[in-house]
Amino acid sequence: RRPNLREILANTSEAPWTLAAFMAYLSSNHCLETLEFTMDADRYKQHYMKMMANAGPTGVPSPKDRDFVQELWERLVEAYIRPSGSREVNIPSNVRDPILRKRPDELPPAPETLDPAVDKIHELMDESLLVPFLNSVYPHSGSPTTGSRPFNASQESITRLSQSHDDRQHRARDASTRNSSPPYAAAEQTGSRSYSPTSNLHRKSTPTSSSARQRRLTEAISENSTSAYPGMTDDSGDSPMHDSPTTPPTSPPLSDLNHPLG
């Protein structure tokens, strides 16, 4: 039986459709940020809950904890949600805009604010990535073959998921020239951009060498093997919850912030 997306993400699916193979497939198609976004959104939720647990009966967290969680929010939004972000994910404007408009009050934004975006990304992975991935590896092979053409997969789907390196690098250079503009001005300029659920899942991935990517994949999977969900690994003794994610080919935006909550 072929696994569903939930089983793959929970790393409970049988070979060859393992989490390691799925991450390798996303990396080879330059759309790993789709999975990284869901991991960092989950990490933000964990830190938010930890902050509130430390607040005690008053329900008012310490300024230090509040500022740290607020920084996590800002980095997540800048990387994944803001148009032209370094790892911008493909979500429609009616999902993106409410997140961009969210301003901190006495507390950082609640994790539930990200739920519509996380649900949309799961939907996109399920509809546009899961079947090509399942078809890209052979059930009887000794090891997954993620670089080959998917068996019986739609060539149109793969083409849409596989834009050229030159196009991505050109967009990255264009984005760098806009970094001096106010973030919300950039959002207003691109707010009317069309949305396509089967394309541009991988706008901002940074290409790396095959050997470096494979090394990072191996390290990430070995660390994730004890976690019920990817991204909640114990890789830093001084991180807030000892759970900074390590994912290939580069670390997600939230993985390098170290601050003990409480």
Q: Mean pLDDT over residues 109-127, rounded?
A: 97
- List the single range of 92-106, 115-129, 197-211 with lowest mean pLDDT: 197-211
pLDDT of the residue at 185: 34
What average pLDDT does range 184-213 have in this prediction? 41
**pLDDT tens sequence across 234-261:** 333 343 433 433 344 455 666 555 555 6
pLDDT at 56: 86
Between 142 and 124, where is the model more confident?
Answer: 124
Predicted local confidence at residue 197, as pLDDT: 41
Give the homologous superfamily in CATH for domain 5-142+156-224.
Regulator of G-protein Signalling 4, domain 2 (1.10.167.10)
- The pLDDT-based confidence of 139 (bands split at 50, 70, 90) is low
Provide the pLDDT for residue 13: 94
- pLDDT, average across residues 198-226: 45
Task: Give the rounded percent of residues in the chain with a pLDDT score beyond 90.
Answer: 48
Whether 205 shows a pLDDT value over 80: the answer reads no
The 10s digit of each residue's pLDDT in 8-25 is 999 999 999 999 999 999
Residue 162 is predicted with a pLDDT of: 39
Three-state DSSP string of the chain:
CCCCHHHHHCCCCCCCCCHHHHHHHHHHCCCCHHHHHHHHHHHHHHHHHHHHHHHHHHCCCCHHHHHHHHHHHHHHHHHHHCCCCCCCCCCCHHHHHHHHHCCCCCCCCCHHHHHHHHHHHHHHHHHHHHHHHHHHCCCCCCCCCCCCCCCCCCHHHHHHHCCCHHHHHHHHHHHHHCCCCCHHHHHHHHCCCCCCCCCCCCCCCCCCCHHHHHHHHHHHHHHHCCCCCCCCCCCCCCCCCCCCCCCCCCCCCCCCCCCCCC
Indicate whether 168 pLDDT > 70. no
Q: Where are the domains of the chain?
A: 5-142+156-224
Residue 251 confidence (pLDDT): 54
pLDDT score of 130: 95
The answer to whether residue 90 scores a pLDDT higher than 60 is yes
Q: What proportion of the chain, given as a percentage, has pLDDT over 70?
A: 52
Of 75 and 164, the one with more pLDDT? 75
- pTM of the predicted model, to two decimals? 0.60
What confidence tier does 115 reach under pLDDT thresholds 50, 70, 90? Answer: very high
Structure confidence by residue, pLDDT tens digits, 24-80: 999 999 999 999 999 999 999 999 999 999 998 888 999 999 999 999 999 999 999
pLDDT value at position 89?
Answer: 96
Q: What is the mean pLDDT of the chain?
A: 70
Residue 113 has pLDDT above 90, yes or no: yes
